[in-house]
Amino acid sequence: MSKSATLTVQQWGNSLAVRIPAKVARSARFKVGQPVEVSAQDASVLVRAIGEPKLSLAQKLATFDPDRHGGEVMATGRVGREVF
């Protein structure tokens, strides 16, 4: 079931903006950080998801498992001719 809302276009710097209400965003399955495409069609604007949200560095590090990733961790000793 789709949701709708009546909103007001606001000034945001040199651009215009409309906040997407939570119910509408959930209905569209939008997530924070998700890339979207915005296009004009006649007198309408279409906002369409075009991919999955990109993870932050903290989120990527939280999912890192050295056992699963072949033990790819920083070397703690000398490797080759390196000097510490």
More confident: 59 or 8: 8
End-to-end CA distance of the chain: 61
What secondary structure letter does DSSP report for 58?
H
Please state the rounded mean pLDDT for residues 56-60: 85
Q: Which residue has the higher pLDDT, 51 or 83?
A: 51
Q: What per-residue confidence (pLDDT) applies to 66?
A: 75
Give the CATH number, domain containing residue 23.
Answer: 2.10.260.10
**Is residue 68 in a domain?**
no
Predicted pLDDT at 55: 80
Query: Within a domain: residue 78?
Result: no
Residue 1 maps to a domain: no
**pTM recorded for the entire structure:** 0.57
Range of the domain at 16: 10-63
Higher per-residue confidence, 76 vs 56: 56
State yes or no: pLDDT of 73 exceeds 70: no
**22 within some domain:** yes
Kindly state whether residue 46 falls inside one of the protein's structural domains.
Answer: yes
DSSP β-ladder status, 36-41 and 10-12: unpaired
pLDDT tens-digit series, residues 7-54: 999 999 999 999 999 999 999 999 888 899 999 989 999 999 998 888
